[in-house]
C-alpha cells in the first residue's frame, strides 16, 4: 500500500473539515476523489502532502508516517498540482517546469543532463514543448494547467496528487491528461468533478461528503444512481458503456 490515511482529521476554528478519513491507495494505482464543492477534497490532498498538518490521525507513505519524514525527502517523492496553481514571477514555461527539479538538486548546482531530459520529457508529454520559451503569464488557462502538470511530472514523483487537473482543459486535453496520468504507473490521487471521466480513468473511487468518506470501491460499485442522488442531489441513469466497459452516467433533469 503506497498511500494510507488513518483516521485523518482536520478542523479550522470550530468547523470540522476532514473527519476521520481512512483511505488506501495501492502502489501504482489511481484513486479518484469525488465529492460536492466544499466536501473536503482539496483539504484532504493538502493534508496528505503535508501542506497542512493533521489535527489527529496519520498519513503513511509505504508504511512510513509522513510527519516523521524530512520535508526534502517528501518533496523528492511526492508532487502536488494544486487546484488554483499560480506562478507569480516572470518565468518562461521551461523555467516553471524546471522548478519541478528543485527537490533533486543542491542549491548551487547547475541543471544536469538528467534534469534537462526530465524537463524536456515532461513538456513533451503535455504537448507544450513548442512553448518552452513563452512567458507563463501569457499562456491560456488550459495551457497553464498543462504546464503545472508538466512541472509535477518533471519532479519524477512516486506519488502524484492532482486537484481538479482537468480544470480549464478542452475535452481533447482532458482525455489526454487523464490518459497520460493513468498510464504513468505511479500512485495517484486525483480530485475530479466529472463522474464519467473518473469512471473512465480511475482504478478506484472515494467519495467525500461533508468531510467524511461515504463510499469507496471500483467505479461501478461506487457510482450508483442512489449515491449520485444522495451525495450530489442529482437524478442519474447509470449504465455500462458498450465502448469502454466503464460506467456511463446520464443526468436526468426534473
> Which residues make beta-bridge pairs with 247?
240
Q: Is residue 12 part of the contact set for ligand ATP (CB under 6 A)?
A: yes
Residue 111 half-sphere exposure, CB side, CA atoms within 13 Å? Answer: 17
Contact by Cβ (8 Å): 207, 214 = yes
Cα angle at 194 between 138 and 148, to 5 degrees? 30
The site map against ligand ATP for 43-82 (x = CB under 6 A) is x---------------------------------------
The single residue among 32, 40, 157, 219 that binds ligand ATP, judged by CB under 6 A, is 40
The stretch near ligand ATP (CB under 6 A) out of 34-42, 142-150, 175-183, 233-241 is: 34-42
The site map against Mg ion for 53-92 (x = CB under 5 A) is ------------------------------x---------
Q: Is residue 41 part of the contact set for ligand ATP (CB under 6 A)?
A: yes
Supply the DSSP symbol for 112. P
> Which SS3 state, helix, strand or coil, does residue 132 take?
coil
State the number of binding residues for Mg ion (CB under 5 A).
Answer: 3
Pick the closest to residue 133 from 142, 125, 123 (CA basis). 123
Chain contacts with ligand ATP (rule: CB under 6 A)? 12, 15, 17, 35, 37-43, 83
Amino acid at each position: 500500500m503506497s498511500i494510507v490515511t488513518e483516521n485523518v482529521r482536520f478542523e479550522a476554528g470550530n468547523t470540522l473539515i476532514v473527519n476521520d478519513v481512512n483511505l488506501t491507495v495501492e502502489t501504482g494505482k489511481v484513486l479518484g476523489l469525488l465529492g460536492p464543492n466544499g466536501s473536503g477534497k482539496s483539504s484532504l490532498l493538502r493534508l496528505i502532502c503535508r501542506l497542512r498538518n493533521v489535527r489527529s490521525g496519520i498519513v503513511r507513505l509505504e508504511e512510513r508516517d509522513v510527519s516523521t519524514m524530512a520535508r526534502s525527502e517528501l518533496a523528492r517523492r511526492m508532487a502536488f498540482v494544486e487546484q488554483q496553481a499560480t506562478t507569480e514571477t516572470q518565468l518562461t514555461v521551461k523555467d516553471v517546469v524546471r522548478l519541478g527539479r528543485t527537490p533533486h538538486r543542491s542549491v548551487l548546482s547547475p541543471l544536469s543532463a538528467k534534469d534537462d531530459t526530465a524537463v524536456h520529457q515532461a513538456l513533451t508529454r503535455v504537448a507544450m514543448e513548442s512553448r518552452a520559451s513563452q512567458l507563463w503569464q501569457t499562456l491560456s488557462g488550459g495551457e497553464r494547467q498543462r504546464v503545472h502538470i508538466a512541472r509535477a511530472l518533471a519532479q519524477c514523483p512516486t506519488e502524484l496528487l492532482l486537484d481538479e487537473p482537468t480544470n480549464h482543459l478542452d475535452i481533447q486535453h482532458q482525455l489526454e491528461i487523464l490518459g497520460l496520468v493513468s498510464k504513468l504507473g505511479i500512485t495517484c490521487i486525483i480530485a475530479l468533478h466529472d463522474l464519467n471521466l473518473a469512471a473512465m480513468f480511475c482504478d478506484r473511487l472515494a467519495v467525500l461528503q461533508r468531510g467524511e468518506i461515504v463510499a469507496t470501491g471500483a467505479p461501478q460499485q461506487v457510482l450508483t444512481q442512489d449515491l449520485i442522488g444522495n451525495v450530489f442531489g442529482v437524478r442519474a441513469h447509470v449504465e455500462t458503456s458498450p465502448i469502454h466497459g466503464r460506467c456511463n452516467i446520464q443526468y436526468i433533469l426534473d
